[in-house]
């Protein structure tokens, strides 16, 4: 099936001589898919979104939406069938909720506009607010109006640029869930840009982790979390303990002893051990450590430990949900409970 969005070897540079901000980026999104571009500040996420929207012109590569090539010849933003939702909602302050949604429907025959606007307001659960002005709504409600305005023209593709980052933690969580379920119900294909790994894990069907304008790794959130291919991915998506070691097939010798590996390797390796795959143990074969910091979070605790006796002590992070809750200064033993992943 033709993907809804296909980027192929996309390149964008803002100044000659400087490295490209988007560098040979290829990715695709299938119909109905929620795809997230995740990465640190400055990695080129927003520029990628602006290229897709037609707000920037690429220096190389191609962009297709539903099989239609948009870069050569260049198709202007209003003819791309793309909806946009930004961090700051960008609602018209002098128009009420209904007026804001109607604004995006000016191209429709007059008789179709009002029913379409109302149908979309119902989809986002804002029917009873249609005569309110934007300033009379909460941040989450305003973002749902912005979503309705973008969805009303039934775009082939919806682009969301950090849409939840102006909301406080509680509202961010509920708005994210609502938006996800609205997009699912309407079968919308959407690209979300965020630097928030928790948001990417919770929201996406698939995510692309970007670094320096390139796709470092892509896959379902579960795949990328479970199989980080690089140290960067292991630390950007969740936390990780990175240990040097020497591998021989499915085993590696490390400062935590001989660890099983999830895949065969040989020679010097770097392995990733997730904090939840380290556990406290009474087994004398466990590695002795000292707890140097603890963050209790109710359902679990995060511990920072130093290997006892190690010079310059390697620091490890452990997530543990058991009791008793350990204290700073405690001398304990730890063991690895899952095969470690080999990363580059
Ligand atoms: N119009 C522009 N002219 C020159 N440089 C730009 C322009 N737009 C973006 N850049 C630069 O391109 C790089 C990537 O910016 P971009 O906004 O795409 O990153 P991002 O991953 O979305 O970051 P953030 O999460 O901080 O928004 C940055 O170094 C930025 O300064």
Would you state the pLDDT for residue 191? 97
Q: Given ligand 1 and candidates 7, 11, 12, 14, which is best to mutate, with the most ligand atoms within 8 Å of its CB?
A: 14
Would you state the pLDDT for residue 313? 66
- Ligand 1 atom index nearest CA of 50: 18
Would you state the pLDDT for residue 166? 79
Would you state the pLDDT for residue 163? 87
Rounded to two decimals, the pTM is 0.89
Closest among 101, 87, 100 to 192, alpha carbons compared: 87
For the chain, give every residue range classified as CATH 2.40.50.140.
Answer: 239-343
Would you state the pLDDT for residue 312? 55
Question: Cα(162) to centroid of ligand 1, in Å?
Answer: 14
Closest among 296, 254, 287, 284 to 271, alpha carbons compared: 254
The ligand 1 site (C-beta within 6 Å) comprises 14, 21, 39, 41-47, 195
> Selecting from 2.40.50.140, 3.65.10.10, 3.30.465.10, 3.40.50.2300, what CATH number does the domain 239-343 have?
2.40.50.140
For 204, the enclosing helix (H) or strand (E) is none
86-123, pLDDT tens digit by residue? 887 789 999 999 999 999 898 899 999 999 999 999 98
Would you state the pLDDT for residue 299? 84
Question: Cα(221) to centroid of ligand 1, in Å?
Answer: 25
Mapped onto helix, strand or coil, the DSSP state of residue 207 is strand
CATH architecture of 5-227: 3-Layer(aba) Sandwich (3.40)
d(CA 340, CA 274): 8
Vertex 197 angle, CA 212 and 163, to 5°: 90
d(CA 241, CA 334): 13
Mapped onto helix, strand or coil, the DSSP state of residue 260 is strand
Low-confidence ranges of the chain (pLDDT < 50): none
> DSSP per residue over 262-312, as a string?
EEEEEEEEEEEE-GGGEEEE--TTSEEEEEEEEEE-SS-EEEEEEETT-TT
Would you state the pLDDT for residue 75? 94
Ligand 1 atom 28 nearest Cα: 42
- Ligand 1 atom index nearest CA of 44: 18
- Ligand 1 atom index nearest CA of 46: 22
Map tokens 């479970």 to a residue: 226
Question: Cα(195) to centroid of ligand 1, in Å?
Answer: 13
Interface confidence, given as ipTM, is 0.95
């Amino acid at each position: 099936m033709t993907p809804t969005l296909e980027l192929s070897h996309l390149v964008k540079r803002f100044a000659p001589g400087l490295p490209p901000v988007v560098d040979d980026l290829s990715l695709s999104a299938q119909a109905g898919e929620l795809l997230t571009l995740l990465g640190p500040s400055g990695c080129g996420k927003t520029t990628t979104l602006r290229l897709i929207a037609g707000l920037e012109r690429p220096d190389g590569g191609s962009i297709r939406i539903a099989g239609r090539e948009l870069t050569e010849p260049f198709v202007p933003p209003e003819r791309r069938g793309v909806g946009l939702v930004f961090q700051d909602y960008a609602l018209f302050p002098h128009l009420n909720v209904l007026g804001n949604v109607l604004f995006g429907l000016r191209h429709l025959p007059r008789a179709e506009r009002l029913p379409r606007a109302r149908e979309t307001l119902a989809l986002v659960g804002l029917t009873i607010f249609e005569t309110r002005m934007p300033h009379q709504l909460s941040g989450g409600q305003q973002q749902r109006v912005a979503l309705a305005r973008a969805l009303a023209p039934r775009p082939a593709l919806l682009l969301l640029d950090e849409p939840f980052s102006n909301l406080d933690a509680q509202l961010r969580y509920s708005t994210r869930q609502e938006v996800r379920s609205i997009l699912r119900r309407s079968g919308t294909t959407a690209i979300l840009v965020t630097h928030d790994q928790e948001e990417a894990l919770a929201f996406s069907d698939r995510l692309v982790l970007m670094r320096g304008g390139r796709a470092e790794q892509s896959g379902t959130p579960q795949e990328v979390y479970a199989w980080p291919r690089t140290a960067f991915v292991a630390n950007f998506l969740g936390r990780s303990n990175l240990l040097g070691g020497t591998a021989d097939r499915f085993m590696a010798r490390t400062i935590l002893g001989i660890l099983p590996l999830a895949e065969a390797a040989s020679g010097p390796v770097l392995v990733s051990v997730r904090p939840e795959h380290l556990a406290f143990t009474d087994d004398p074969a466990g590695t002795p450590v000292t707890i140097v910091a603890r963050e209790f979070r109710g359902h679990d605790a995060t511990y920072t430990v130093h290997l006892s006796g190690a010079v310059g002590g390697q620091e490890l992070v452990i997530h543990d949900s058991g009791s008793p809750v350990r204290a700073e200064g405690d001398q304990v033993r730890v063991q690895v409970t899952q095969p470690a992943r080999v990363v580059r």
